Each structure stands twice: as C-alpha cells, then as structure tokens.
Chains A and B, each alone.
Chain A
C-alpha cells in the first residue's frame, strides 16, 4: 500500500485519527454551552470555505454571502416550524395567528416534506446565487462593482425579509429551538450533540469537496480568472460560466452552513443578512489565509472563539480589535496567517528579532557578515 509508505503519510494519518477522536470526544470534554458554540463556529467554517473559493481562488469579493446563509437557515426553520405546528390553530405555525393569517402562504407548502427541505437547503441558495451571478458576470461587472452589487443585494434581501411579517414573521425571525424533530426538541442537549457531530463531519466533507474543486484544471481556470481574466478569455475559455458555477457552489455551501447554524443557535432572523455579518465572513478568510482552504476553516473557528471570549470579558473592545485586525491583516499580512506561515513567515520573524541570523540567498551565492557576496 503506497499510501502508508512514506513518513509524511503516517503523520497525516495520525492527525486525522486525532481529529476524529477529538470530534467524538468533544461532547464529554466541553461543557454544553461551549460545545454549542464550537458547533456553531464549525458550521460557519463551511460558509468561510465558500468565501475562500470565490474570493481566494477566483478573486471575486462577495459581500453578500449572508443572503445564501440566511436562505439555508430559513428553509430549515420553515420545515421545523411546519413539522411541529399541528396543535396550533389552522395547523400553521403560531406566529401567523398574530398577524391574522389563516392560510399558509403558498411557498411554505413544499417545506412540509423533509426530502424537499434537505435538497432546498443547498439547492435554493445555489440557484439564486447562480441567477444573480450570471446576470452580473454576463456584463463583465467585476472587482469593486461586483462587491457593491452583492452588498446592495444583501440589503435588498434584508429589507424584504425584515418587512414581510405576514409571510415569514419579519424582523422577529423564525424560532427553531422549541420545535420538534424525531420526537425530540431541537434545542435539547441530545439534539445539539448530534448537530455538533453533523457540523464537524460536514466541515470535513466540505473541505474535501473544495479541495477536489480547486485541485484540477477547473481550479487552474479559477486561479487564472483571479490573476488575469482577460487572458483567460483570450485563451478560449468563457469566464462567465466558471464564475457562475463557483459562485453558485459558494452559495450552496453558505446555505448548508446557515441551516446548521440556525438549528444550533435556535433562531433564524433577518439579522443573518446584515452587512457586518457578511463582511465578517470575509475577515475570517482574510485572517486565516485566502487561497488556503484550511486557513478559512481555522480563521472562522478561531476568530469566532476569540470574539466570544473577548465580548464576554470586555464587550466594547471587540469592535476596536476587529477593526484593527482588519487593517493589520490587509496591510501587513495580505496572505493571512496560514499563508504567511507557508511562505516562511516564521523564519523572517525570527530573523527580524535577531534570533535567526542566517540569510536566505540563492544557491551558490554565499554572503559574508556585511551582506556582500563572497567570490
């Protein structure tokens, strides 16, 4: 078996075994509250992977991933609400009664089916992102224009969901933690444990999926679009198709992420579609290292953990820290932390503070202490 022949493979295997063991054991190691938080952050890592695919690899900065994230969440929440609304008047979710709605709006109907919900969680955001993306990419709108348009689209969706009380409970959102699934409360401890495991497994699957996408020729074209779109077009490829596909994939990932986040946080509301939240998704990727898929996952988990820890201790300072982190990463570490490590950043740092005196030179050139090339 050639996979296990080299030393590197053994290290990799050990790491995987450790990760799986940690995931299985996490519910016993962590208190319920922390486990729930970790599960949420793992689900956020999936949307970060999508952001990395479109921004890190394809060079399109979308500030509207919150749309697809929230859509995934709403699909789940609608199913859960319908699933546990038999005892309410008219057999429809309770909040409709507040607004005097007696008949279920038509678009709720299909969410009575669990299979439809499972498919729509990723397919619906994927279709909407593909449509939006196609309309934008077709006109060669790119760069900053694209970012602004996605942000505006985000605001539009926010306004729509926020204003429509009679359709989807408007600004209050849909609660999921008191709904029933498989005869259990969604907010119960057992269910939360399962959601944690599902999130962890899905992060790993999404990571493999993203790696599979960017590894081959498809990934090369994405990187080509990022670096010089005009040249890709002149070589005979149509960037529009590739951009639409990858934007749609990112949308689908965002939908899955939103669904998992919703069941673990217990509510989906238009707050998922606010501008800051969508930009935060970009920050996780920027800090972790764009163009490195692992960086996106680590960035999402660690920054969110840091956020919860800092906000518990000093609520006011998180905005300062986040803003500072933004500026610092963009100006000083454009590759992100992981990218910086991979490019030998640690060596440079050691050299800067004077621990490591060795100079890096071209092979065959030796440098003396004054920095001159020895003959």
Chain B
C-alpha cells in the first residue's frame, strides 16, 4: 500500500510537470494546428523569470521581508514574460504561415535557437528590460481609445507608445543591472533557484515523505488546469476559442474575430509555458537548454491525448508520468519480487530514466496502431482534411 502510494505520488508529480507544460501546447495545437517548437524555450524564459524575481526579492531592500513569497509573484511574472514573447511570436512569424503547419514548425525552431542564444549572450537585466518594453509596446494600445489610434495621428501615437516603451525598457534594464550585479553580465552558465524556507523538506503521511516542492508543483498544475477549464468553458472569449477550434471558417463567418482569438490563445498557451518554467526551475538548475528536456515529453502528451480535448491531455500526461516512474525506477520488481527471471532481466534493462523513455515511446507507437488519433479523437467532417 505504502509502495503503491509512493509510486502513485511520484508518477503524478512527473505527470503534473508534463501536464502544465503540455497544456499550452495542446490548446495552441488544437486551435491552429501549429506545433510550437519554441515552447520549450518559452518554458526556459519562465524559469529564468523565476530566477530574476528571486534575485530582485533578495537584493531590493523593501522587498526583502516578502522574500518567502517570491515564488507566487514569479508565477505571475513568468506568465506575463512568456505570454508577451508568445504574442510577439504570433504577430511576427506564425500568422504569416497560416495553413502550412510544417513551415511553422521550422520557423518556431528558428525562434527557439535565437531565444537560446539570446539568454546566453545578452545580460539578463537588459533582456528583462527588452521584455518590459515589448510588453508595454504590444499592450499599451489596448488602453488608448480607438479614436486616438485611427487615421494619421494614430500612427504617430502608436510610434510614441513604442518610443515610450523603449525608454521604460532601457530604464528597467539599467536599474536592474545596477541593483542586482549578478544580472549585469551575460553568462552561459546554469543558474540555480533556491526554494524559500517554507518549501524545503517534506510532509510525512502514512510513513511516506512527500517533498513540498513536488506538492507545490502539483498544486500549481491543479490551479492552472482549473483556471484554463474555467476560462474555456465559462467566459465569452473561451467560447469563441472553442468555436474557432471546432470550425474556423464558420466562426469567421459568424463574426468572431479569429485573428484576436489566435493572439489570445497563443498568448495564454505561451504564458502557461512560463508557469511550467517556474515548476521546472524548482526541480533543477536553469540553463538555456532546460526546455529541451521537457519538450518531447509534451509532444508525446499531445499525440497520445488527441487534439482539442483537455481531458485527453490530462489523462495522457498522468499516464506517461506514472509509466515513467513504474518503468524507470524498476518498481515492478519491488512490487512483485519473485517474477520469472527473463521478465525480471528485461524490466531491469529498462529501469533507467532514459531507457524508460525508449519503452514508453514503443508503447505509444503500439497504442497509436489501435487509436491513431489519440485517446479522444476529434470527430466531424473537418478532421480529415
């Protein structure tokens, strides 16, 4: 029983990181048929945001008393940072490539290369300044009345907002680099996020220790999933997103601005990648390549779960997580110690994390032989074309 619980907990913990990372990918894939290869790098940006937030809370005097709560602030900041970069990506690259998903795949890979090199060779302080500038520049027109933005003066006003945003960005960069010396130099080295004191250690329950970081990650995942479900099911924009996911031309005809829907969806999907980045930063050290470790797992979740169905995504990530733990830690051997030796040696052969991946991929390919479009396939005439 104890063993079963421990195994289940580990599996759920692995699965919940996968889930929060794959959630954004799945929503975007369902809506636009686009696989975003830069998703891992958006996670990386989220992880770096956590690191920067932590440093700011440590160094700035009036924030110091609140140091223990930086993780919660970091979640919001990571969401905004990755979301901003995602919106920029959608506006500049992805919307040019509509209807050609393979080209989008390649272009987003190009973006991921640039982002990786960017965090290596630009000081983090100025990188955050740039993100602040982008954020203001992209979103400030939303708060200016449409009357001011129309016609010839509109162009001038837009240019002014960008100029203002650039100034704010440079100022942010300058202030950050003078306040926090660690951020003022570019470095390709991995950085570490230290968990605040209340997150260290674990909770003992029926003789098993549950690490608090893992519990927090599960909590983050549960909240993210609930918020996404609420957003998609109960709000007007959520309904529009679902409508466009089901049938894009028809929604367009009925007056839904598919362009806005794309921007919102891509922004939220990228933002969720940022939240996943916070979770990832709590598990290990943060480097430019941190996203690559998770991205293929996310793809597997999307393939296994099927398109446009959150339940599929949730089930797929937890089953992959539990399978990883069962196979990778060789738990079947401890559960059933006296199994015949050929099976035992096979299980032993696959009992490492990397070999578990081999096994899981084989299982997924076998599964796809029976259900080629995942656990919960989309139905309807639009699906085939």
A residues near B, CB below 8 A?
Answer: 55, 59, 61, 135-136, 138-141, 143-145, 147-149, 151-153, 155-156, 159-160, 162-163, 230, 275-276, 279, 282-283, 286, 316, 319-320, 322-327, 330-331, 334
Contacts and interface: CB of A to CB of B under 8 A. Distances in A.
Interface string B280-307: 0000000000001000100110110000
B114 A320 contact: yes
Given A153-B361, A282-B106, A143 B101 contact: yes
A322 B106 CA distance: 12
Contacts of B110: 322-327, 330
Interface SS, A side? helix
Interface string B362-385: 101100110010000000000011
Interface residues of B, number: 45
Nearest to B354: A159
Contact of A148 (B106, B107, B121, B299): B299
A326 B113 contact: yes
Contacts of A143: 33, 101-102
B120 interface: yes
A156 B107 CA distance: 24
B106 A330 contact: yes
Interface in B93-143: 93, 96-97, 100-107, 109-114, 116-117, 120-121
B357 interface: yes
B105 A331 contact: no
B296 A319 contact: no
A324 B364 CA distance: 34
Given A145-B303, A147-B102, A230-B384, A330 B97 contact: yes
A177 B47 CA distance: 42
B303 A148 contact: yes
A84 B355 CA distance: 31
B354 A140 contact: no
6 contacts: A143-B33, A144-B102, A319-B116, A324-B110, A331-B93, A331-B96
A163 B354 CA distance: 7
Interface of B: 29, 33-35, 93, 96-97, 100-107, 109-114, 116-117, 120-121, 292, 296, 299-300, 302-303, 352, 354-355, 357-358, 361-362, 364-365, 368-369, 372, 384-385
B105 A147 contact: yes
Given A163-B354, A326-B110, A331-B107, A320 B102 contact: no
Contacts of B34: 144
Interface SS, B side? helix
A330 B94 CA distance: 10
B355 A327 contact: no
B355 A155 contact: no
B374 to A, nearest CB: 9
Contacts of A275: 292, 296
Given A147-B102, A156-B362, A323-B113, 13 more contacts: A55-B102, A61-B102, A136-B365, A139-B368, A147-B105, A148-B302, A149-B303, A160-B355, A316-B121, A319-B116, A327-B107, A331-B93, A331-B97
Given A148-B302, A156-B357, A334 B103 contact: yes
Contact of A286 (B106, B117, B362): B106
B102 A152 contact: no
A31 to B, nearest CB: 30
Contacts of B361: 152-153, 155-156
A230 B385 contact: yes
A85 B116 CA distance: 42
Nearest to A228: B385
Identify the interface centre among A140, A160, A323: most chain B CB within 10 Å of its CB. Answer: A323
A252 B355 CA distance: 26
A151 B107 contact: no
Contacts of A144: 29, 33-35, 101-102, 105
Contacts of A230: 384-385
B29 to A, nearest CB: 8
A151 B296 contact: yes
Given A230-B384, A326-B113, A330-B107, A159 B299 contact: no
A161 to B, nearest CB: 10
Contacts of A61: 102, 105-106
Contacts of A279: 106, 109
The 6 closest A-B pairs by CB, nearest first: A326-B110, A139-B372, A323-B113, A319-B117, A323-B114, A159-B354
Nearest to B110: A326
Contact of A326 (B106, B358, B369): B106
B85 to A, nearest CB: 14
Contact of A163 (B33, B35, B299, B355): B355
B309 to A, nearest CB: 15
Contacts of A156: 357-358, 361-362
A141 B368 contact: yes
Nearest to A319: B117
B107 A159 contact: no
